[in-house]
Every structure is written in structure tokens, then in C-alpha cells.
Amino acid sequence: MASFSHPYLPQTDGQRREMLAAVGVSSEEELFQDIPAPLRNPTLKLPPPLTEMELVRELRALAEQNAVPGEYACFLGGGASRHFIPSVVGALISRGEFTTPYTPYQPEVSQGTLQATYEFQSFICQLTGMEVANAGMYDGASALTEAALMACRATNRYQVVVLDTVNPRYLDVVNTYTEPQRIRVRTAASAGLTLTKGDACLLVQSPNFFGSLEDLKRLRDAATAQGAMLVVSTDLHATGLFKPPGDYGADIVVGECQPTGVNASFGGPYVGFFTCKEKFVRQMPGRIVGRTVDLQGRTGYVLTLQPREQHIRRERATSNICTSEALVATAVAMYLAVLGKHGFRQVAELCYHKAHYAASRLAALPGFAVVPSGTGAFFNEFVLRCPVPPARLNRLLLEHRILGGLDISAQVTDGMLLCVTETNSRDEIERLVRALSAAGAR
């Protein structure tokens, strides 16, 4: 085996000999004797190595092929959306005190991280109208899934009902988790909804995948009548304007935090939120950070609840979540703290009014129509039925430096799901209207 000197593993030859002697071999080749000789050093069809400067140039050229929100007007939603993030958020979470810790197992040296997570939990409870929140989930889809599993444990029932207006990607994750556990998942329409005594919960999204608000009071009554739990996946920005799910009596409220302080980032990392009524806290997955005082009466923060199978007996564990996404949750907490109550509501109002303005302008175009769902009221997303396939329209919109809506033709014939946020200027909306008018007329 040829000797290889690695610039980031600077052991000397003497140190290597010492390590080999410690494990009882005389050479590096002996370490690989169990691997058949023809397989030890296969020929790799790789291009020649690049210098750092050449590599940066190549990666930059690849990145420039992306159509990036900001450089392009963006109207994409359906689970991830663009919002303005104050620069102070990035500056603060880039501090070493936040970026270096993994999990705050030792509270005495993790007070900053624990306090930030505690503030995150507090903000989430205030926004959702719920009693207790955990320290964060992987994302909105897995949070909804964990809610379904929790409801099954709490009710000792193993059937789950999902409204057909829930994000289909979320439903895919629910099915992935529940199938091996033999939990039956049934999708149902909101109109004429029927539940049975065997159903553990009703999974609802409001605003739903199509952007519309659901009638949570009616759905709450339908679930309660059969002893099932109501689980609501919601948009945090919507709670800044509308009555939160907790006020309707939801048992568990979950969702995706990406719009609140986290860039879209081509898919992650994101962080989900998870809240429930206090009486169900022992069934909650993830972790909970609590606030207490020490012997001198000073405020301190600790991991109060740790239900992972790594921490307690496996048969009593309610979670196998291996990270609380603490750094991303910290970004969310900082975003909410910087905006404050009034600033957050202002963002929600801008999203609402700009989306309704865009919908009214687009609905007036020949061949286009806004398609309602749920109650018909919507927040900042809506479905536009197009006269031609949305995939074709989106290709044409790229020529105008516009990222169009999500093609949801599988759910709505020639349907395009559009998302409008505070970042979309009136000029961008008018450019979208003109571009779609010209494209629809072709």
C-alpha cells in the first residue's frame, strides 16, 4: 500500500508506528488483510485532483446554474417558502457558543444553548395556543408523523384518519413510519367526514396544502365525538393573524419552522415544532428544556424530559429522535425575538394582503381561476387553475426570471400552487401577472 500524507491528519511516521504497535500489527497492510487483495485498491474513474482555487471556481460555476430566490422572483410554496430574515439572526447563530455544541447533556456548561431552546419552546406555545412544546423535531413532516404515533399510544388505538388536504409529502412520511407498526392510515375528505371509535386521531393541516383554512371547530367536534385526538399541522405565520389551533381545542399542534428564520437552503436543515396539552406530556417525543433555580437561587436551565430510548428503558421510550435541531431552533427563536409580537403580526398581514392582491389580479386573467378548498378562506397560498399545463408555464416564467408556483396537477387539474410572502414586491406580482397572461395566450 502506497504511503499517503494527508494535510489534515498530520501524524508522524513515529506516531503511526506507535498506533500500529498498540493494536498489535506491524504494518498498515496488516490492517486490511481481511479484505481480498483485488478489492483493496480498486481503480476509481475520477478526474484529476483540483487545487482549492480551481475547486472553488468549479463549484461557483455549478451554483450559478441554480435559479435562486432573490435573484429570481419566487412564488414557490407547498412546504417551504421565502421570507425576509434580519441579518442579526445569522450573525448571532454563527457565534461559536451556538454552532459548536451538539446536545446540551451537561447543563452547567450549556446554559446559553438551553436558554435559547427554552425561549424557542415558549414562543411556540404562545403562537400555537398550546400548553407545552418540545425542543424541536427534524421537520414538519416527521413532526406530524410523531404526533400520529403519540396519539396511538395515548388512546391505545391504532387507526389514523388523515384529511385529503394534508400535504401529500407529509402523508408519505406518515405512511412510512406507520406501516411497519401495523397502524392503519385512512384518508378522508372533510365534507361528510366520519370517524369511528377505533380511530386514534384526526390529522389536519390548516392552512392546508392548498393554502386554505379548515373549519377546526367542526373537525374538533367530529374527533371528540368518537374519543379521537385532533392533531393540527399549521403555519406559524398564520398564527400571527388567525386564531391558533390551541384555541379550537386541538390536542397536538405541529408544523414546520423553516419560514420563521431559516432560509429554504435547497431542502434543509429545517426544524419542526411539536406542542400538546400538558396532560399528554409523558407521551411526547423529543426533549423538553425546563427552567429552574440552583442552590443560590440563580436561574438555570436543564433538560427536564428526555424520553429517548438512549436515556431510559426501551419499553418506556416514546422517541428515537437523535437530534433536537437545536441550532436551527435557536435561529427561529432569534427571528421571533427580533421581530417581536407586532413585527410578527405585520409580516403575517403583509403575506395575507399581498397574496389576496395577487389572487385577485390572476383570477381576472382569461382562462385562469382561483380554486378554493377547505373553508375557502386562505392565508398566503392559493391554487390557480391554468389554461395550459403548469409545467409549461413554469418553463416560460423562468425566461422572465420568475420561479412559478408548485405544479399540483396530480391533485388539481392544471393546478398551480402559488405562495406570496412579504418578500414579494408589487412589481414582482405585476411581472407574474403579465408573464402568465402572455404565456396563457400562446
pLDDT score at 421? 97
User: pTM for the whole thing?
Assistant: 0.88
The amino acid occupying position 228 is A
CB proximity list for 98: less than 8 A, separation 6 or greater: 92, 112, 113, 116, 327, 330
- Pairing mode, strands 272-276 and 132-133: antiparallel
Rounded to the nearest 5°, which phi and psi values hold at 157?
-120, 155
- What pLDDT is recorded for position 179? 94
The string of DSSP letters for 15-53 reads HHHHHHHHHT-SSTGGGGTTS-HHHHSPPP--PPP--HH
DSSP 3-state percent helix, strand, coil across the chain (nearest 5):
40, 15, 40
State percent of the chain over pLDDT 70.
Answer: 93
pLDDT for residue 12 is more than 90: no
Contacts of 417 (CB under 8 A, 6+ apart): 77, 78, 209, 210, 211, 381, 382, 383, 384, 405, 406, 408
pLDDT in tens, 310-356: 556 666 666 666 666 888 999 999 999 999 999 999 999 999 999 99
Q: Is 153 exposed, middle or buried (0-12, 13-18, 19+ CB in 10 A)?
A: middle
How many other CB atoms are found less than 10 A from the CB of residue 35? Answer: 10
Reading the block at residue 266, the C-alpha cell is 435547497
pLDDT digits (tens, 9 = 90+) for 390-436: 999 999 999 999 999 999 999 999 999 999 999 999 999 999 999 99
pLDDT at 105 > cutoff 80: no
- pLDDT category of residue 77 using cuts at 50, 70 and 90: very high
Kindly report, residue by residue over 62-72, the tens digit of the pLDDT.
Answer: 999 999 998 99
CB 120 within 8 A of CB 134: no
| Residue 152 and residue 200 in contact, taking contact as beta carbons nearer than 8 Å | yes
pLDDT at residue 434 in the model: 96
Domains and CATH numbers, the chain: 73-83+341-441 (3.90.1150.10), 87-335 (3.40.640.10)
Q: What is the pLDDT of residues 241-269, one digit of tens each?
A: 999 999 999 999 999 999 999 998 887 88
Check residue 1 and give its pLDDT.
47
> Rounded to an integer, what distance in angstroms lies between the CA atom of residue 271 and that of residue 255?
9
Q: What is the mean pLDDT of residues 88-114?
A: 81
Closest by alpha carbon to 141, among 251, 267, 289, 278? 267
* Separation of alpha carbons 203 and 215, rounded Å: 13
Secondary structure, 3-state, 236-251: HHHHCCCCCHHHHCCC
What are 13-54's pLDDT values in tens digits? 899 899 999 999 999 889 899 999 888 888 889 999 899 999
Cα–Cα–Cα angle for 32, 35, 36, rounded to 5 degrees = 125
Cell 412520511 found at:
173
Residue partners of 269: CB distance under 8 A and separation at least 6:
325, 328
